[in-house]
A = this chain, B = another copy of it.
Amino acid sequence: MTTAHQTLRPTSAQLDAADPLAAQRAAFYTPDDGQLTAYLDGNSLGRPLDITVASLQSFVQDAWGSRLIRGWDEQWMDEPTRVGDRIGEVTLGAAAGQVTVGDSTSVMLYKLIRAAVDSQPGRDEIIIDRDNFPTDRFIIEGIAKERGASIRWIAANPAAGVRPHDLDGLLGERTAVVVLSHVAYRSGFLADVKAITAKVHDAGALMLWDLCHSVGSVPMELDAWNVDLAVGCTYKYLNGGPGSPAFAYVNSACQDILQQPIWGWMGAADPFGMTDAYQPAQGIRRFITGTPPVLAMQPLKDMVELIASVGMDAVREKSTKLTEHAMNLADEMLVPLGVAIASPRDPAERGSHVTVDHPLFADVTAKLWERGVIPDFRPPHGLRIGLSPLSTSYAEVELGITAIRDVLLELQ
């Protein structure tokens, strides 16, 4: 770090000292074995909050253990939509009554994409990009096969991500639904939700956004952007724990014209009526299927409240600075070693992770994990540096990138 250009930049210590969110880091559980030095994978699995231990204890003893089955009447029947509403308010820009929590992301994608395809006879094409997350592509592959629909693939530049013009020539009167990621899981590219959604609507089709890699790190205005459908996960930037439930957003304008295919009792109009035939509930509840995963949705509530206490704009501001810091450090330390930066340089087009590519990164990642520096690896040779804004310091980023450089030098 010796050039004139570099010395003008603040150091990691200066950035941490000036960070208005620095105090939030103390809210996260830190193992006392001293073996974790830099966690750069909050985009894959967020760290637990300290308070989550107490929240779970209280849930087990007070809610489950004391109220027992009465908890369903008193609290839990509405838990999927109460927690969903709060996620919507704090992170999605969604008015109440449009978000529910449950299932896995993959199952939620299946339910909503099936609903979108089934509700539009004559529209038998699904549009998705080849660089979308595998589960999105696999789910659509299965749906296309079973419903006799066709997949139209967007051939976007993987490094750049999907832009509105990439849909030209694909959208049309046969398009049922377009499925894209808000933030691309590899490159971190941040899509223009408003412009793409408008374009899809011009073709009379429905738009579904996968929010897995953006929710809790990028502010959204789903209602204002006129989004139809969205699905997201809660174990990344919402810190819900491994395998915590997904959420679904269904714009109120779409709810009564869509019917999802998995007709479980908790999505019925009268779950405890033990009726003869299935009658879907009105509103967002019809997108529920089975008994909601109430225990599993407790930890994420703690994180949603922490985000609410600082606001999504502050989260985004720190996220942008963290990714910029990571890119600057990568330019200095990694690019000279043959590493390519695979994420957008423009912060307005970038989510909260930075991907760097090098043929040795599978091996590098394994060695980093052994020393408590934890990014993740995505084939063919991407090392992802995930920067969860509330739990990551600037010094941690520098420590991590320094370690990447050191291991790469050892292996080269």
Residues of B within 8 A of A118 (CB): 146
CB contacts (< 8 Å) of A141 on chain B: these are 263, 277-278
Produce 1/0 per residue, A335-377, CB < 8 A to B: 0000000000000000000000000000000000100001010
Q: Is the CB of A61 within 8 A of B48?
A: yes
**Residue A65 contacts which of B48, B135, B290 (CB distance < 8 angstroms)?**
B48
Q: How far is the CA of A133 from the CA of B299 in the complex (A)?
A: 31
Q: A72 CA to B297 CA in the complex, in Å?
A: 20
A60:B29 contact, CB within 8 angstroms: yes
- How many protomers of this protein does the assembly include? 2
**Do the beta carbons of A264 and B64 come within 8 Å of each other?**
no
Considering only residues 244-277 of chain A, those with a C-beta below 8 Å from chain B are 244-246, 261-266, 268, 271-277
> For A297, what are the chain B residues with a Cβ–Cβ distance below 8 Å?
243
Instruction: List the B side residues contacting A138 at CB < 8 Å.
Output: 263-265, 268, 277-278
User: Looking across the interface, which residue of chain B has its beta carbon closest to that of A265?
Assistant: B135
Which residue from B52, B235, B289, B292 sits with its C-beta under 8 Å from A60?
B52
Q: Is A103 an interface residue (CB 8 A)?
A: yes
Known: A36-B66, A41-B69, A262-B107. A295 touches B244 (CB 8 A): yes
A401 → chain B closest CB, angstroms: 18
Scan A109-127; emit 1 where CB is below 8 A from any B CB, else 0.
Answer: 0100000001000000000
A261 to B139 alpha-carbon distance, docked (Å): 9
What distance in Å separates the Cβ of A35 from its nearest Cβ neighbour in chain B?
A: 8
Indicate if the CB atoms of B106 and A262 lie closer than 8 Å: yes
Is A209 positioned at the interface, with any CB of B under 8 Å from its CB?
no
CB-contact partner of A107 in B72, B264, B275, under 8 A? B264
CB pair A264–B104 under 8 Å, yes or no, is yes
CB of A71 closer than 8 Å to a CB of B: yes
A114 and chain B: residue at smallest CB distance: B146
CA distance A76 to B242 in the complex (A): 8
- Known A53-B60, A102-B104, A103-B107; further 15 A-B contacts with Cβ < 8 A: A29-B65, A52-B60, A69-B374, A76-B242, A76-B243, A106-B264, A106-B266, A110-B261, A110-B262, A130-B276, A138-B265, A233-B291, A244-B296, A273-B379, A293-B293
